[in-house]
Amino acid sequence: MHFNILPISRKLALLLALLATTGLVQPIHAQQADTLEPPSLESVEAAWRAGDFAAARAGLLAHAEAGVPVAQYRLGYMMGTASGGPFDREGAKKWLEAAIAQNHNAGFVLLARLYLTGSPEIPDYERAAQLLALAVEDGDAEAHFYLGQLYRIGRGVEGDKVRGYTLVRAAGDAGYAPAQFALAEMYSRGEGVEPDDAQASRWLLQAAENGSSKAQMSLYFNYSRGTGFPKDEAKALGYLILAAEGGHTLAERILGASYLMGEGVEMDTEKGLDLLRRAAAKGEAGAQTNLGYAYASGTGVAQDDAKAAEWYKLAADQGLTRAALVLGDLYQAGRGVEENLDEAIKYYQIATMGRSQLAEERLGQLILSGAIPPDKEPERGIIWVATLAETGEAAARDMLQARAATGEPYADFRLGLIYRDGVGTDPDLPRGAKHMMIAAKGGIVAAQEQMAEMAASGNGVEQDFVEAHKWANIAAANGSDAAVERRGVLADLMTAEQVAEAQARAKAFLNGQ
């Protein structure tokens, strides 16, 4: 026997949130300078002062290895910030630690960030917290913010929301924008401080003012929806533009699409395409889809099916439903790509995961036409045929009927809904009820729920609380929450004898299965 439980880690979710706010240090790959005779410490100093980090880096190693603390610090700093050479996390950690060990008290925050973003190794929160605490003593605003974040999530230190608030607050008061955005969050949730919407708004505005593109985006949403702020399209647009200028990916996509279509702004396809390209280059699937649309329709660019397909594919491979549906169509029609039914089917299926009814209908058609032969049809094929049948396609309904006749209870379930509710055909209540009963007996939980509902209300079958309770109980045992509730409501209307009878029937049904 083996029992499985789902791990639920709230801490993990919070951690991810923190990492998202701290931002990963992006490595920049630069050419390593040639190593020659080690220059004198004086000439390295001069290069550092002049901002010629490449030259400084080249000359520092020998001095760092000779144990000069300032050289160790500077080498670590350049490795950790990718200045004058490639990003080197381990090298940076090593030299910064070496300098600190010799009481060269600088670079605490940088080193702490290297520990916090220590992917793929496990981040070292404890060491990061120690370093941040040292930097906090020096009054460093950024350090207050990061240490506050650690107190908020309880990593490297004992979790303490109030302390987290206090530290983040200090950083916010010092004008550090990410901290100000965090304060807006904390005031609106009441985290570590009494909830206070006015304060939340004030900090959000401050953060936006100081260039936090997240805060600007948040204000964009709030002003355009009228949540927390009076609805104001002009102000919303202003913040959206600021956020997009600050490189906020979602802002670039939204603003880009607006310019492209001339929605809310004067149409400017060039500006729109430029913004969309920026977001698309960072992998934003919505922007990629918009670019696909621009090429497919020739909006602002020369019509180009091949380029359209390329953009759609980037988005579809990320699972974006709309893009997957269109790409499936392109593959089926051989537009911009070579006609390929297998690829079309693959992308339609991706679209069905996003509950695209159109994709289900397309797949249903392919089964109906025999393009997907019976031996290649996946188990979910019956769902697609049913969705197509609901559009009124008689051939699909006939196919469902044939499947039902060969003992597929799911086909009965969908026929039950179609005839009971008259979906795509005239309603035929007794016929619907008959199919639903077969499906319920065949073990389809949704059909068992439906039978409970129908028997309780006398819809299509005789009103019978005992039968209703029986089906609700069976569906509940099969994991239906709605059935648990229905069973409770029914029991309140029934006598103990009726409940006993219903339970006996449910038990007999399950034993006979």
Closest CB to another protein among residues 78, 476: 476
Residues 6+ apart with CB under 8 A from 496: none
Q: Which range, of 89-97, 103-111, 221-229, 471-479, touches another protein by CB under 8 A?
A: 471-479
Q: How far apart are CA 307 and CA 310, in angstroms?
A: 5
Rounded to the nearest whole angstrom, what is the least distance from the CB of residue 476 to another protein in the complex? Answer: 5
Check whether the bond before 38 is cis (ω within 30° of 0). no
Closest CB to another protein among residues 6, 234: 6
Q: What are phi and psi of 463, to 5 degrees?
A: -65, 125
> Which of the 8 DSSP states describes residue 31?
P
Rounded to the nearest whole angstrom, what is the least distance from the CB of residue 446 to another protein in the complex? Answer: 15
- Please name the residue ranges forming H helices in 108-160: 108-116, 125-137, 141-153
What is the residue whose two structure tokens read 């339970």?
503
Long-range contacts, stretch 346-350, CB < 8 angstroms, 24+ apart: 347/316, 348/324, 349/378, 350/316, 350/319, 350/321, 350/324
Rounded to the nearest whole angstrom, what is the least distance from the CB of residue 413 to another protein in the complex? Answer: 21
Taking CB under 8 A as the rule, does residue 508 contact another protein?
A: no
CB of 435 closer than 8 Å to CB of 462: no
Taking CB under 8 A as the rule, does residue 250 contact another protein?
A: no
Closest CB to another protein among residues 54, 477: 477
Structure tokens belonging to residue 166: 């206090």
Taking CB under 8 A as the rule, does residue 5 contact another protein?
A: yes
Residues 6+ apart with CB under 8 A from 65: none
Rounded to the nearest whole angstrom, what is the least distance from the CB of residue 493 to another protein in the complex? Answer: 14
Taking CB under 8 A as the rule, does residue 473 contact another protein?
A: yes
Closest CB to another protein among residues 66, 510: 510
**Which sign does the torsion angle of CA 232, 234, 239, 240 carry?**
positive
Q: Looking at 90, 402, 485, 493, which residue binds another protein (CB under 8 A)? A: 485
Taking CB under 8 A as the rule, does residue 263 contact another protein?
A: no
Half-sphere exposure (CA, 13 Å, Cβ side) for 462? 3
Q: Which range, of 224-232, 284-292, 372-380, 470-478, touches another protein by CB under 8 A?
A: 470-478
Rounded to the nearest whole angstrom, what is the least distance from the CB of residue 447 to another protein in the complex? Answer: 17
Closest CB to another protein among residues 2, 355: 2
| Number of residues located near another protein, criterion CB under 8 A | 26
Residues that bind another protein (CB under 8 A): 1-6, 8, 473-474, 476-477, 479, 481, 484-485, 487-488, 496-497, 499-500, 503-504, 506-507, 510
